[in-house]
Amino acid sequence: MSSLVEDNPAKRRFEILVDDALAGFAAYEQPQGEVLVFTHTEVDPRFQNMGVGAELIRRTLDQVRERGGRVVPQCRFMAGFIDRHPEYSALVTDQP
């Protein structure tokens, strides 16, 4: 199973493609400078319980970090992931 995570600014979301199929996304509000406010994560039922959501969040946060950005994790799934992976906590801000 090969996956790719890409930002889709037109839809304001990071998308994960698994074997070229859209498997899920992490949606964000209109960017405020370098800060992205993530509001919702969704994984297609066909790809649930396969680690796709965690892979989506991990690779999304890696890309935000590479850009020098910050996140406001309003989405419970992303917030929970960051709680379990404190190496990403420096990316969190409460300033949109």
CATH of 3-91, one of 3.40.630.30, 3.40.50.360, 3.40.50.300, 3.30.460.10: 3.40.630.30
Residues 46 and 78: their CA atoms lie apart, in Å, by 20
The predicted structure's pLDDT at residue 3? 87
Model confidence band, residue 69 (pLDDT cutoffs 50, 70, 90): very high
User: What kind and span of H or E run contains 78?
Assistant: helix 76-84
Domain boundaries, the chain: 3-91
| Torsion angle in degrees (nearest 10) through CA of 33, 65, 70, 51 | 120
The predicted structure's pLDDT at residue 53? 97
- Residues contacting residue 6 through CB under 8 Å, at least 6 positions apart: 14, 15, 17
The one-letter amino acid at 20:
D
